[in-house]
């Protein structure tokens, strides 16, 4: 069982940026990333993981990027942000910001959209939402290994959460960048796991609750 899934712990699934403008090959502004998502089979695994969390009565959150028109609150401080602003992408209400169908939110899920920052915690109420739900462990999945996943993991650890990353449910811009971060950075502030191990841990929780 991964750390953070023991009795008394409350994990939450954080589905990061699985939006059409990011991971859909037809719309993505990051074709290499969208290709890696497809090649690694990330989306079907995330869908199975989300179903397991829902079955266990645990939170599923979709962390979306959705910029205001004109990017009035977005600092031009990174290549990723500059690229989006030049191409007028990921605007609130556009097709870009919708979830891809494979991992579309359910009624019980929470969609948490931010208009700026590269990491879901910075400048948002994500931490407050998680704490109000009693969450002690976060499970970041989606994209990208390079930025959002590593950022969520580091910030989450700093904030006192246990962090469990199912490696087969994330993807980076290239296989090389993904492998480097998984092998050298993520283990410093998270527990690496896989989708089957997490699902097994959730099934065990359900079985234990049934015996209680």
Query: For residue 112, what pLDDT is reported?
Result: 97
Is 116 part of a structural domain of the chain? Answer: yes
Residue 12 is inside which H or E element, if any?
strand 11-16
pLDDT at 113 over 90: yes
Judge whether 201 lies within some domain.
yes
Residue 77: helix, strand or coil by DSSP?
coil
Structural domain includes residue 83? yes
Q: How many domains does the chain contain in total?
A: 1
Host domain of residue 67: 11-211
Q: Is the pLDDT of residue 104 over 90?
A: yes
For the stretch 2-57, pLDDT in tens is 889 998 999 999 999 999 999 999 999 888 999 999 999 999 999 999 999 999 99
Name, in order, each residue with C-beta under 8 angstroms of 109's C-beta and a sequence gap of 6 or more. 50, 54, 60, 61, 62
- State the pLDDT at residue 167: 99
Please give the pLDDT value at position 210.
Answer: 65
The verdict on residue 1 lying in a domain is no
Q: Indicate the burial class of 111 (C-beta count within 10 angstroms; 0-12, 13-18, 19 or more).
A: middle
Cα–Cα distance measured from residue 11 to residue 50, given in angstroms and rounded to the nearest whole number: 12
| pLDDT reading at 78 higher than 90 | no
State percent of the chain over pLDDT 90: 77
Number of other residues whose CB lies within 10 A of the CB of residue 151: 19
95, 96, 138, 178, 180 from 24: Cα distances, Å? 11, 9, 25, 19, 24
For 44-152, strand residue ranges (E) read: 60-65, 110-114, 137-143
Supply the pLDDT for residue 83: 72
61: domain CATH number is 3.40.50.850
Domain contains 2: no
On average, the pLDDT of the chain sits at 94
Residue 141 · residue 100 · CB < 8 Å: no
pLDDT at 212 over 60: no
pLDDT of 79 strictly over 90: no
pTM (2 d.p.): 0.95
Distance between CA 51 and CA 169 in Å, rounded? 14
Look at residue 188 and tell me whether its pLDDT is greater than 70: yes
């Amino acid at each position: 069982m991964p750390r953070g899934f023991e009795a008394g712990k409350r994990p939450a699934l954080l589905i990061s940026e699985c939006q059409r403008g990011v991971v859909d090959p037809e719309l993505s502004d990051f074709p290499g990333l969208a290709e890696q998502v497809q090649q690694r089979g990330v989306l079907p695994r995330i869908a199975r993981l989300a179903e397991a969390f829902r079955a266990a009565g645990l939170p599923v959150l979709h962390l979306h990027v959705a910029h205001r028109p004109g990017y009035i609150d977005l600092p031009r401080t990174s290549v990723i942000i500059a690229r989006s602003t030049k191409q007028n992408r990921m605007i609130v209400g556009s097709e870009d910001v919708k979830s891809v169908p494979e991992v579309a939110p359910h009624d019980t899920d929470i969609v948490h959209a931010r208009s700026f920052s590269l990491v879901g915690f910075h400048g948002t109420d994500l931490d407050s939402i998680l704490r109000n739900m009693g969450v002690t462990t976060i499970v970041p999945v989606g994209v990208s290994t390079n930025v959002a996943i590593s950022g969520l993991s580091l910030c989450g650890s700093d904030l006192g959460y246990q962090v469990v990353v199912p490696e087969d449910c994330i993807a980076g811009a290239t296989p090389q960048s993904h492998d480097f971060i998984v092998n050298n950075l993520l283990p410093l502030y998270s527990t690496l796991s896989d989708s089957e191990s997490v699902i097994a841990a959730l099934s065990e929780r359900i079985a234990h609750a049934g015996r209680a």
